[in-house]
Amino acid sequence: FKAICEDDMPDYNKHISRPLLELSEIYSDVLADEWRSLTYRKVANKLDRLPYQILSADEVKNIQGIGKSMVDKIKEILCTGQLQKLFNLKASSQVQIMQQFASVWGIGPKHALKLYQAGHRSLQDISEDQTLSPMARVGLKYHYDIALRIPQSEVSEAGSFVRHVLEDLCPGASIIVGGSYRRGNATCGDIDLLITHPDGHSHKGLLGRLVTKLEEAQFLITCPNPFTENITHKVNTYMGICKLPQYTHHRRIDIKIYPKQAYAFALVYFTGNDVLNRRIRYLAKKKGYKLSDQGLFLRVGDNKTGMASEVSIPCETEEEVFQKLGLPYPEPHERNW
């Protein structure tokens, strides 16, 4: 399975694209410079897609979208094995402090920069800041706990806890623990729960009611504004903090509810990992489809500019999704890329 996907996207130039991507991430996550970030990411992606290894900077001069300063950076990486600019940024105390601010759940890069500019230099400093959103306050309060890995057994118990509440609330609904837990990892960064109802309609409005019940049970920490509703209104996501009664630490939890017809696609997406998702989306695109957590849509017209159809190709199981993509079925534990 991996061989088929990798064959399609060779990794000849990872040693060049990786530092460029790191720089891109610092620009977006810390320096809030989306434009520069995008420039670096685009070039990194371009290099990743080349079917041959770059041996000298001259070879990239004529590739569209790679300007003089970028050629110089590639030359530097090829000659010295590193990028001084990246090295300096990583060593700078401002970047390190802003990285720490942005590591708080609920604080984005722009906000991290504002907090730095306001003179804050530590998490202690920002705890008094009036500009923190309710979500960031919760993120800061549980910052220590959230950074800890969660043992598999605790993730499993959290899943069972929510399952019991859900069974009472909405008989027949199904719930599965996704993410790194489903891939069999020994520890997880957070708890990812995926819910649907086989009757095709009982999932509607369920998330709000479930969250209320879980707050009453003192499993979820009440946190204002934790809902994000997808524009298509077909999916509901809750992002928050939870704690099991007999446990010490607070944990990050994501709960998603999808309608039955999107469930197989949602399960593939929410099982991940993110690298695999990027690869199969890319593969789908090359085959004339658009793959998302909502479905597999045929592109009409030109592969690049063509609009995706609004109706998904129906799939009831993950096996069918991979089959439609022309891929052998990977067991969840084979999806750790």
The residues that are catalytic are 73
Which 188-207 positions form the footprint of Mg ion (CB under 5 A)?
Answer: 190, 192
Task: Check binding of 192 to ligand DCP (CB under 6 A).
Answer: yes
The answer to whether the CB of 123 falls within 8 A of the CB of 104 is: yes
Q: Figure out which of the listed residues 265, 270, 289, 322 binds ligand DCP, where binding follows CB under 6 A.
A: 270
Q: How far is the CB of 149 from Mg ion (least distance, A)?
A: 11
Task: Check binding of 34 to Mn ion (CB under 5 A).
Answer: no
CB-count exposure of residue 59 (10 Å: 0-12, 13-18, 19+):
middle
Task: Check binding of 272 to ligand DCP (CB under 6 A).
Answer: yes
CA distance linking residue 286 with residue 228, whole number of Å: 31
Which 190-219 positions form the footprint of Mn ion (CB under 5 A)?
Answer: 190, 192
Q: Figure out which of the listed residues 10, 108, 189, 332 binds ligand DCP, where binding follows CB under 6 A.
A: 189
Span near ligand DCP by CB under 6 A; candidates 158-166, 214-222, 225-233, 267-275: 267-275
CA distance linking residue 238 with residue 187, whole number of Å: 22
Q: How far is the CB of 93 from ligand DCP (least distance, A)?
A: 27
Q: Which does 272 bind (CB under 5 to 8 A by kind): ligand DCP, Mn ion, Mg ion, none?
A: ligand DCP
DSSP H helices, 192-298, are: 206-216, 263-271, 274-286
Task: Check binding of 254 to Mn ion (CB under 5 A).
Answer: yes
The site for ligand DCP, by CB under 6 A, has a size of 12
Return phi, psi of residue 175, to 5°.
Answer: -135, 140
Q: Which does 269 bind (CB under 5 to 8 A by kind): Mg ion, Mn ion, ligand DCP, none?
A: ligand DCP
The answer to whether the CB of 291 falls within 8 A of the CB of 281 is: yes
Q: What is the dihedral of CA 104, 105, 106, 107, to 10 degrees?
A: 20
For residue 79, what are the CA distances in angstroms to 76, 82, 221?
Answer: 5, 8, 52
CA distance linking residue 301 with residue 68, whole number of Å: 35
Q: Figure out which of the listed residues 17, 24, 37, 277 binds ligand DCP, where binding follows CB under 6 A.
A: 277
State the amino acid at position 50 in one-letter form.
L
Binding residues vs Mn ion (CB under 5 A) = 190, 192, 254
Binding residues vs Mg ion (CB under 5 A) = 179-180, 190, 192
Binding residues vs ligand DCP (CB under 6 A) = 179-180, 188-190, 192, 269-270, 272-274, 277
